[in-house]
Each structure stands twice: as structure tokens, then as C-alpha cells.
Amino acid sequence: MPNPKRRHSKSRTRQRRAHDALEVPQFYLDKDSGEPKVPHRVDPKHGTYKGRQIIDVKEEV
């Protein structure tokens, strides 16, 4: 297996690790229900997207 010939500098290592930070997932609060939703996705509970009915959802018994 190939091994590095020279040691990587601290700045090079830190530049690589700068992209490893965890990000907070994006969400918004729904106007009607007030629960958090993921943007740009069809709501699986009601089947709506941008205020329009997209899919028919069966009621849970």
C-alpha cells in the first residue's frame, strides 16, 4: 500500500477537516399545524405541497 512520503502540515489537515462539521438539518414550522417540516417535500401526513393537495392519504385506524 502507498504510504505518504512527507508529513501533512497542520494547515492542510485543518483545511480538510473544515468540511467535517455537523450541520443542523433545515426545517420550518408549518403554518397550520405548527409542527416542524422538511422544506421542498410532500407532507406525508396530509399529502400537501405548497398548500396544494398532491397525493391522497388514507386515514389511520
Classify residue 33: in a domain, yes or no.
yes
Per-residue model confidence (pLDDT) at position 60: 67
Quick one: 31 exposed, middle or buried, by C-beta within 10 A (0-12, 13-18, 19+)?
exposed
Per-residue model confidence (pLDDT) at position 13: 94
Classify residue 28: in a domain, yes or no.
yes
Q: What is the pLDDT along the chain (61 residues), one digit of tens a residue?
A: 899 899 999 999 999 999 999 999 999 998 877 889 999 999 888 888 888 999 998 876 6
Classify residue 18: in a domain, yes or no.
no
Classify residue 15: in a domain, yes or no.
no
Full domain range(s) for residue 39: 24-61
Task: Judge if pTM exceeds 0.85.
Answer: no
> What's the maximum distance between 2 C-alpha atoms anywhere in the chain?
65
Classify residue 43: in a domain, yes or no.
yes
Domain count, the chain: 1
Per-residue model confidence (pLDDT) at position 6: 94
Residue with cell 438539518: 25
Query: Residue 46: which of 57, 35, 38, 37 has the closest Cα?
Result: 57
Residue 42 near residue 48 (C-beta atoms within 8 A):
yes
Classify residue 56: in a domain, yes or no.
yes
CA 32 from centre of chain: 22
Per-residue model confidence (pLDDT) at position 27: 93
